[in-house]
Chains A and B, each alone.
Chain A
Amino acid sequence: MVTWLKYGVILSVFFSFFLLIYLITKTFSFGTKELNSQPSGNRKKGVMFAFGRGMMPWEKESAKKHLLTYGAGIIYHSGIFSAFLLLLLDLFSVKAPSLLNSLFIVFMTSALVCGIGLLLKRSLFKSMRSISSPDDFISNILVNSFLLISVIHFFVIPIKIPLYSAGIILFMYIPIGKIRHCFFFFYSRILFGSFFGRRGVYPLPRTSSQK
């Protein structure tokens, strides 16, 4: 049973990956347009800004104002990727170094707390409910469940069957719902950097930083 589930996880990872590739390909199939206007800034610098300084709370007001949510988001994602990595190592019976393991305990348990917090925020605030579809709740619950089972499996008591089952469900769901943003995030951020970089808006010279 465990072996079958193990193969199931690997297959679901491939399923997810290929479907995400399909979605990206489909996105490109809508066609891109070469821009005619003369640039006044630098596209590449804009993209570098988008993935660097532009993500920092001192540059991004929304992050600065909502440090708790912003921080929770970062911890949440770090925890999820840690759990994915541990699952991958587990599939190939590789043991993570103990230091890395300790680090992952912190990431994954904090991520679980943050995930529950984010779910509560989405459920309790009217404004958040207004922008949410069932997919938002399901995505969050699936990820939280996966994190919970991973924490139990890796740090409390081995429960391979629930872990692999949760993994399969999660990986199968990734391309279907909003979790696909983990793929599209990079594309959108590149577009963001290109747009503002090309127009000479970003990166702003440090001398012009705001009060």
Chain B
Amino acid sequence: MISQKEKNKIYQQKVQSLSNTEQKIIQREFENRIHSECAAYLNTCAHCGLCADSCHYYLTSEEPENMPAYKLSLVTKVFKKNFDVFGKKFPKLTGAEPLNKKNIEEWIDVLFGRCTLCGRCTINCTMGINIPYLIRAARGALASAGLVPPGLQSTVDTAVDKGNNMGISKEDWLETIEWLEDELKEEVGDPKAALPVDRKNSRLLYTINPREAMFFPLSISAVGKIFFDAKESWTFSSKNFDVTNYGLYSGDDTAAGLISERLIKSLYQLRCKELILAECGHGFNSNRWEAPEWLDLKYDFQVKSILEVIYQYIKKGRIKLNPELNPAPVTLHDPCNLVRLGGIIEYQRYILKKSVKNFVEMVPNREKNYCCGGGGGQLAMTRFAERRIEAGKIKSQQIKETGAKIVATPCHNCIDQLMELNKHYKLGVQIRTISEIVADAIV
């Protein structure tokens, strides 16, 4: 087994000894990724620089490389050199540059190491350029030559090879479910309470972030309790239960499509009606919005966030909540992939207002929220960990200003990052999922 440090060393050597053929592969994949939307965006940037302080990286460290416009310019210059008639003729004038070793190294450092693909720059761009979309295209080009930073690539590989990103075996998964089910029965005082696995013809197929099974089992039992209380017909899959998809971050559409396709196969095999995604920002964006494009497939079933399901339960009175059971002040962190890029904006607010006594909004919030720094695959790329923690300072300040004791967030990547920020910036808060809070408020 090769250690992460060794993997990083091998990777560095690979980057430095990049052959012409590999450079051509990247170039070709980059060309494949360009379609009319990309080309329009790449012709639009006026370099006004107004996007700079919409980025949490730039706000915490004013290096030019942290400006979204700078990140975009790395992609634009290669585009101009290859596709723009004037960029080809007047490269010095237009800043066009070929994709060479120097540029590739900068792409890796900047496009992987200084961006969480959160999309905050897009909503603040005067032109509306979808910068993360273009950065992901460039990441995908690097992925084609095996240049995704090792930590992130390992996560994708594990998901592809083992069926989930933490490599949990079927036996371990079933064992975890078994003991969680015993605990659930005890908690609700009903021997009929269950965490069903592979139950055919259930209405919902529920997925989890494998980190829940490994480190946060309480969030699984919380959802189990909610489903039980709502008398829902639902099931887990014994084989494909992973909501995450790091292919979204590596830019590898083939791997991303393969990972998402498994959930669909399970849904059909178990004859479920809806695919319900756990509290996972990028998992939602991947499976709800991107997977149909990766797979070039129109779904004949619904894909929903668990938040939409819980919202309906409360609205229809299928679960009864007492906010007095959660008396501590709670604030909400909006995961970028779920909110700004996913459109799940008000459900979590409605749910929290019904579940806690004192709900405090962060400012700014909703689609204008700041990224916590945990997205974009940053948590998997140890080489950029220092920057990640530094970039999280903005989120830490936001949390402090609310005075909340609990930070609720419907995303396990965000939870991991917020837990690190909590420790590093001494925030003294508790980080929880929405389901955990709802489960505590059930009467």
Interface residue A123 (Cβ < 8 Å from any Cβ of B): no
Chain B residues whose C-beta falls within 8 Å of the C-beta of A69 in the assembled complex: 48, 50
If A27-B36, A62-B124 touch, does A180 touch B48 (CB 8 Å cutoff)?
Answer: no
Q: Are the CB atoms of A131 and B67 closer together than 8 Å? A: yes
Partner of A133, one of B95, B128, B298, B299: B95
Residues on A with C-beta less than 8 A from B291 are 37
- CB contacts (< 8 Å) of A125 on chain B: these are 49
Q: Smallest distance from the beta carbon of B293 to chain A beta carbons, Å?
A: 6
Q: Is residue A13 within 8 Å, beta carbon to beta carbon, of the partner chain?
A: no
Using A184-B43, A211-B361 as known contacts, say yes or no to A189 and B128 having CB atoms under 8 A apart: yes
Cα distance A204–B349 in the bound complex, in angstroms: 14
In the complex, per-residue mask of A113-138: 1 if CB is within 8 Å of any chain B CB, else 0: 00000000010011110111111101
- Tell me which of B54, B93, B127, B367 contacts A134 (CB under 8 A): B93
Question: Contacts A33-B35, A130-B64, A204-B345 known; A187 to B40 CB distance under 8 Å?
Answer: yes
By size class, the interface of chain B is: 35 or more
Those of A69-113 within 8 Å (CB) of chain B = 69-70, 73
CA A73 – CA B49 in complex, angstroms? 12
Tell me if B340 counts as interface (CB < 8 A to partner A). yes
Chain B CB within 8 A of A4 CB: no
- Residues of chain A within 8 A (CB-CB) of B38 are 30
User: Quick one: given A38-B299, A188-B41, are A30 and B35 in contact (CB under 8 Å)?
Assistant: yes
Task: State whether A210 touches B364 (Cβ < 8 A).
Answer: yes
Counting chain B CB atoms within 10 Å of each CB, the highest count among A63, A73, A193, A210 belongs to A210
What interface size band does chain A fall in?
Answer: 35 or more
Complex contact B365–A210 (CB within 8 A)? yes
| Chain B residue at smallest Cβ distance from A197 | B343
Are the CB atoms of A37 and B288 closer together than 8 Å?
yes
> Would you call the interface of chain A mostly helix, strand, loop, or mixed?
helix
* B376–chain A nearest beta-carbon distance, Å: 18
Q: Which of A175-211 contact B (CB under 8 A)?
A: 175-178, 180-181, 184-185, 187-189, 191-193, 195-196, 199-202, 204-205, 208, 210-211
CA distance A164 to B150 in the complex (A): 59
What CA separation (Å) do A191 and B130 show in the bound complex?
A: 9
- What residues on B are CB-neighbors of A205 within 8 Å? 346
**B98 at interface, CB cutoff 8 A:** no
Q: Among B40, B126, B298, which residue has its beta carbon within 8 angstroms of that of A191?
A: B40
B363: which A residues are within 8 A, CB to CB?
210-211
* Given contacts A185-B44, A189-B128, A210 and B50 within 8 Å (CB-CB): no
Which of A69, A199, A201 has the most CB atoms of chain B within a 10 A radius of its CB?
A: A201
Query: Which A residues lie within 8 Å of B342 (CB)?
Result: 199, 201
Q: Which residues of B contact A181 (CB under 8 A)?
A: 43-46, 127
Q: Closest B residue to A38 by CB, please name it.
A: B299
Q: Which of B70, B92, B127 contacts A189 (CB 8 A)?
A: B127
B38, chain A: closest CB distance, angstroms: 7
Give min CB distance, B133 to chain A, whole Å: 8
User: Is B50 touching A37 in the complex (CB atoms < 8 A)?
Assistant: no
Q: Is residue B383 within 8 Å, beta carbon to beta carbon, of the partner chain?
A: no
* A131-B39 contact given A199-B342, A199-B343, CB 8 Å threshold: no
The chain A residues found within 8 Å of chain B, CB to CB, are: 23, 26-33, 35-38, 40-41, 50, 54, 60-63, 65-66, 69-70, 73, 122, 125-128, 130-136, 138, 175-178, 180-181, 184-185, 187-189, 191-193, 195-196, 199-202, 204-205, 208, 210-211
**Shortest CB–CB separation between residue B408 and chain A, in angstroms?**
17
Contact B293 A35 (CB under 8 A): yes
Chain A residues with CB below 8 A from B289, complex form: 37, 199
Total A-B residue contacts, Cβ distance less than 8 Å? 179
- Additional A-B contacts beyond A30-B38, A177-B86, A205-B346 (20; CB < 8 A): A26-B85, A30-B36, A36-B297, A60-B123, A62-B124, A131-B69, A134-B95, A135-B95, A177-B93, A181-B45, A181-B127, A189-B128, A192-B122, A192-B125, A199-B341, A201-B341, A204-B345, A208-B346, A208-B366, A210-B364
Please pick, from A41, A62, A193, A210, the residue contacting B343 in the complex, using a CB distance under 8 A. Answer: A41
- Cβ–Cβ < 8 Å partners of B288 in chain A: 37
B163 proximity list for chain A (CB < 8 A): none
Nearest residue (CB) in A for B62 is A127
Closest residue of A by beta carbon distance from B73: A131
Cα separation A185 to B45 with both chains bound (whole Å): 9
Query: Contacts A38-B299, A135-B93; is A61 near B124 (CB within 8 Å)?
Result: yes
Find out whether the CB atom of A138 lies under 8 angstroms from the CB atom of B41. no
Which residues of B are found within 8 Å of A138, using beta-carbon distances?
93
Q: Residue A193 contacts which of B50, B126, B128 (CB distance < 8 angstroms)? A: B128
Q: Which residue of A lies closest to B91 (CB)?
A: A133
Which residues of A lie under 8 Å from residue B94 when comparing CB positions? 133, 135, 176-177
Question: Which partner residue on chain A sits nearest B71 by CB separation?
Answer: A131
B85 CB contacts on chain A under 8 angstroms: 26
Question: Which chain B residues lie closer than 8 Å to A41 at the CB level?
Answer: 343
Contact of B90 among A30, A63, A127, A176 (CB under 8 A): A176
What's the Cα separation between A32 and B361 when bound, in Å? 39
* Complex contact B366–A204 (CB within 8 A): yes
Q: What's the least CB distance linking A200 to chain B, in Å?
A: 3
Can you report 23 A-B residue pairs in the complex whose CB atoms are below 8 A from each other? A26-B85, A30-B34, A30-B36, A36-B292, A36-B293, A38-B299, A41-B343, A61-B54, A61-B368, A62-B54, A65-B53, A69-B48, A135-B95, A178-B46, A184-B44, A188-B40, A188-B128, A188-B129, A191-B41, A192-B127, A193-B128, A201-B367, A204-B345
